[in-house]
């Protein structure tokens, strides 16, 4: 296994890093706003994908934000909404991300991202965070006009990397995403930073607490397979 694909939002980049700016605008409400915004973002992506009502993820993100501020009765104007939306261009990477990607790069592993984000959204976020230097391939759900966990989205990986799915490590911090990737056929790895239980979806991806754990899992994979075969 010499290739890995990573989810971006919530896995490489911390979507809750918007909390600081949100709290600056609405003191005492930043954490709740960030949580509701993220929950609605995921919900809207699923509803649109299931219903065949696709719009780019940037629009989903904006509409989820608009719902969140209305639900919380926050006084917000167009300038503030735009400023909050722009926070997705500056999301902070988790501290374990750059060391893990650098480790894989040094080992000659082909790395890419496979995300719900549309291409411009991804390129900006990866460049701003400095992670673009570690990424060989950027794959967007926008290419198939659907969102995860649609098999069409996961199919982008084997097509681009020219490898079967089980020879690609798919890494996500979203348990439902790791499950969807496993359903598709990837060797799937869940970065469980919060110590949550497995999703009850009839599948259990490999699991670890950090992205470095995922990197070491991939690099040890040939040895692990040989050991299991010998046993």
Quick one: how many helices (H) and strands (E) in the chain? 11, 8
Residues with Cβ within 8 Å of 159's Cβ and at least 6 positions away in sequence, in order, are: none
Distance CA(162)–CA(164), nearest Å, equals 7
Cα three-residue angle 34-35-40, rounded to 5 degrees: 100
Contact (CB, 8 A) for 159 and 143: no
In the chain, beta strands by DSSP E: 3-6, 13-14, 92-93, 110-115, 137-140, 169-172, 187-191, 206-208
Structure tokens at 124: 């900006």
HSE-up of residue 109 (Cα within 13 Å, Cβ side): 29
Which residues have CB under 8 Å from 21's CB, separation 6+? 30, 83, 84, 87
If you search the block for the tokens 């020879």, which residue do you land on? 167
Annotated catalytic residues are 7
Other CB atoms within 10 A of residue 73 CB = 8
Distance CA(113)–CA(101), nearest Å, equals 11
Give the residue carrying structure tokens 């084997």. 158
């Amino acid at each position: 296994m010499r290739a890995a694909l990573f989810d971006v939002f919530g896995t490489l980049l911390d979507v809750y890093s918007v909390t600081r700016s949100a709290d600056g605008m609405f003191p005492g409400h930043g954490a709740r706003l960030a949580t509701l915004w993220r929950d609605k973002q995921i919900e809207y992506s699923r509803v649109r994908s299931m219903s065949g009502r696709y719009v780019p993820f940037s629009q989903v993100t904006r509409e989820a934000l608009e719902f969140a501020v209305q639900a919380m009765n926050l006084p917000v104007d167009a300038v503030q909404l735009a400023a909050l939306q722009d926070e997705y261009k500056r999301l902070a990477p988790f501290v374990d991300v750059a060391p893990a990607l650098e480790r894989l790069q040094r080992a000659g592993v082909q790395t890419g991202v496979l995300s719900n984000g549309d291409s411009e959204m991804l390129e900006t976020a990866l460049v701003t965070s400095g992670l673009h230097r570690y990424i060989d391939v950027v794959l967007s759900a926008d290419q198939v006009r659907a969102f995860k966990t649609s098999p069409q989205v996961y199919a982008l990986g084997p097509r681009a990397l020219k490898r079967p799915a089980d020879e690609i490590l798919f890494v996500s911090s979203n348990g439902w995403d790791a499950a969807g990737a496993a359903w598709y056929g990837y060797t799937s790895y869940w970065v469980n930073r919060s110590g949550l239980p497995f999703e009850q979806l009839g599948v259990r991806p490999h699991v670890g607490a950090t992205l470095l754990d995922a990197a070491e899992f991939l690099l040890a994979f040939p040895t692990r397979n040989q050991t299991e075969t010998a046993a």
